[in-house]
């Protein structure tokens, strides 16, 4: 079966790569309009498949896809336009930089954002001239079938995008195949490591968007009510099943009591189903209970939540706030991927930056303060792919900016100009502007040594005047002797 899929993909690539970027963009505009016209039905399918509230399906899945298509169908032709690059040393030559497709790109996507994550990669891969094999999570298959249907009804040629259904055994065969030319994976760090091991055998270029343990830092001058509301949302939207969720909060000692009281009060207003959706993967519940048990045993106190529930046949977990937490607790160290908010105290900015950076993860962080200058200075010291000030989580929806992490949170970047170019092979083409024989060719003569000496002076002299005189001597020796 996979051999047939690969063959169809390769046949489609030979056709698709001949389109100009502007032509591919025009074709993808048809997909934009289908998604827009069917946004309510699409949101409903996502909500039913994942258990997230319909408003979250619309705001975190459908709208970002619409924006992505709108933005990149306009910007991609400029970003991927062939460019000349001036050469300051060998001015007799000219260089061209072009962006060319890999071929067959494998996109392995998760269940927590089953539309926006795969579409974010698919659209950029297609604009770059690749064809796509999508291996989605089997947990949210109705959304994957929807993606397949959307492309089949768009103007995108047949087999340019193929959706492959199946479990981990299918995924393993795909990532190990020599017929895959680029891999983009979003998921857990553990699975990402296995994919990298398989990809290494064929030296398949790979982008990894992996897990996180994102920290929020609340300084004593933070705008209290805004901070409370923002952190509660950042922790519990999508039931915390977001790699960019706030999973630990460090609060400066002077503000702890008021902050905790406000967070608990705000959290207790949240309603399951309406505000906090279901747990999409029921196996996650065991992790939540294990982390809570470990935290309580080590001295943490649960102020609200902490219990699982079942509603309309779906598992839920109450949004949970804990205090008296320490850095050695599992709920602070390891990814939770659920509606948990452990609160910790700190005294100095230097201390908290060190504690945040000790995590093996480095996806996102947020700083909450009225002092923007200080926050930006701190942001430069935090080891994370994204740092937001007085907000959290939302930046994955920004199509203009890069998305990705450091350390065990990933390799490479999705989204933005960086993400688009990640689906390209950069090619350098160089040619002579004037027909001079290169002095570095055989035979090696006294003249070629003199020319090389002047060239060394051109790049080695400490002053601009010295380098200019060397350039004049270089031209005389090279052109007239």
Tell me the per-residue pLDDT of 138-182, one tens digit each, with 9 for 90 and over.
999 999 999 999 999 999 999 999 999 999 999 999 999 999 999
For residue 388, the domain's CATH number is: 3.40.309.10
Within this chain, do residues 184 and 277 fall inside the same structural domain, yes or no? no
Instruction: Tell whether 379 and 422 lie within a shared domain.
Output: no
> Is the pLDDT assigned to residue 481 strictly greater than 70?
no
In a domain, 405, yes or no: no
Residues 231 and 162 in one domain: no
Same domain? 222 vs 97: no
In a domain, 406, yes or no: no
CA distances from 293 to 105, 285, 288 (A): 42, 12, 9
Asked if 151 and 41 sit in the same domain, the reply is yes
pLDDT tens per residue across span 291-321: 999 999 999 999 999 999 999 999 999 999 9
- Domain contains 419: yes
Same domain, 304 and 376: yes
Residues 280, 224 within the same domain? yes
CB 30 within 8 A of CB 68: no
Judge if 244 and 358 occupy the same domain: yes
**Are 317 and 338 contained in the same domain?**
yes
Residue 263 sits in which domain range? 214-398
Give the CA dihedral 109, 112, 115, 121, nearest 10 degrees: -40
Mean pLDDT for the stretch of residues 201-212: 98
Q: Is 321 inside any structural domain?
A: yes
How many domains does one find in the chain? 3
Is residue 409 assigned to a domain? no
> Is the residue at 407 inside a domain?
no
- Does residue 223 belong to any structural domain of this protein? yes
Residue 198 shares a structural domain with residue 243:
no
Q: Which CATH number fits the domain that encloses residue 199?
A: 3.40.605.10
For residue range 75-125, list pLDDT tens digits in order: 999 999 999 999 999 988 999 999 999 999 999 999 999 999 999 999 999
Q: Can you give the C-alpha Rg of the chain in angstroms?
A: 27
Looking at the fold, whether 6 and 153 belong to one and the same domain comes out as: yes
Q: What whole-number distance in Å separates Cα of residue 433 and Cα of residue 415? A: 37
305 located within any domain: yes
| pLDDT at position 1 | 83
Q: Hey, which residues are catalytic here?
A: 209, 243
**Residue whose C-alpha is closest to residue 273's, from 230, 314, 231:** 314
Residues 14 and 100 in one domain: yes
Asked if 319 and 277 count as a contact pair (C-beta separation under 8 A), the reply is no
Pairing of strands 246-252, 214-218: parallel
| Predicted pLDDT of residue 435 | 84
């Amino acid at each position: 079966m996979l051999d047939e899929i690969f063959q169809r993909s390769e046949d489609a690539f030979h056709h698709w790569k001949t389109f100009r970027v502007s032509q591919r963009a025009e074709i993808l505009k048809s997909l934009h309009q289908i998604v827009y016209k069917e946004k309510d039905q699409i949101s409903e399918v996502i909500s039913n498949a994942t258990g997230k509230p319909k408003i979250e399906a619309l705001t975190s899945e459908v709208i970002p896809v619409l924006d992505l298509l709108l933005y990149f169908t306009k910007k991609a032709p400029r970003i991927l336009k062939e460019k000349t690059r001036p050469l300051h040393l060998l001015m007799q030559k000219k260089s061209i930089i072009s962006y060319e497709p890999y071929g067959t790109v494998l996109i392995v996507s998760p269940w927590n954002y089953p539309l926006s994550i795969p579409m974010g990669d698919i659209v950029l891969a297609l604009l770059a001239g690749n064809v796509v094999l999508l291996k989605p999570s089997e947990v949210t298959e109705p959304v994957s079938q929807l993606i397949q249907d959307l492309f089949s009804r768009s103007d995108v040629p047949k087999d340019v995008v193929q959706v492959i259904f199946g479990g981990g055994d299918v995924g393993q065969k795909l990532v190990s195949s020599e017929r895959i030319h680029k891999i983009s994976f979003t998921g857990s760090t553990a699975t990402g490591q296995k994919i990298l091991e398989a990809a290494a055998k064929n030296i398949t270029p790979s982008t990894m968007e992996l897990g996180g343990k994102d920290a929020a830092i609340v300084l004593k001058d933070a705008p209290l009510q805004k901070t409370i509301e923002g952190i509660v949302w950042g922790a519990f939207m999508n039931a915390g099943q977001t790699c960019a969720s706030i999973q630990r909060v460090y609060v400066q000692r002077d503000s702890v009591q008021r902050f905790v009281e406000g967070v608990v009060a705000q959290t207790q207003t949240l309603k399951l189903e309406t505000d906090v959706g279901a747990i999409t993967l029921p196996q996650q519940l065991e992790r939540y209970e294990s982390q809570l048990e470990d935290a309580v045993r080590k001295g943490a106190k649960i102020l609200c939540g902490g219990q699982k529930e079942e509603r309309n046949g779906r598992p839920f977990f109450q949004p949970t706030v804990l205090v008296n937490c320490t850095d050695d607790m599992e709920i602070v160290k390891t990814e939770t991927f659920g509606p948990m908010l452990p609160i910790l105290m700190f005294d100095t900015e230097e201390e908290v930056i060190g504690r945040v950076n000790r995590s093996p993860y480095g996806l996102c962080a947020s700083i909450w303060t009225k002092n923007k200058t200080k926050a930006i200075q701190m942001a430069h010291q935090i080891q994370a792919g994204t740092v937001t000030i007085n907000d959290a989580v939302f930046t994955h929806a920004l199509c203009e900016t890069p998305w990705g992490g450091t350390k065990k949170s990933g390799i490479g970047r999705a989204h933005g100009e960086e993400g688009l170019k990640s689906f390209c092979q950069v090619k350098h083409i160089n040619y002579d502007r004037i027909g001079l024989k290169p002095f570095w060719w055989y035979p090696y003569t006294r003249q070629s040594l003199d020319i090389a000496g002047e060239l060394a002076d051109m790049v080695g002299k400490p002053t601009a005047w010295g380098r200019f005189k060397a350039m004049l001597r270089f031209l005389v020796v090279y052109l007239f002797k």
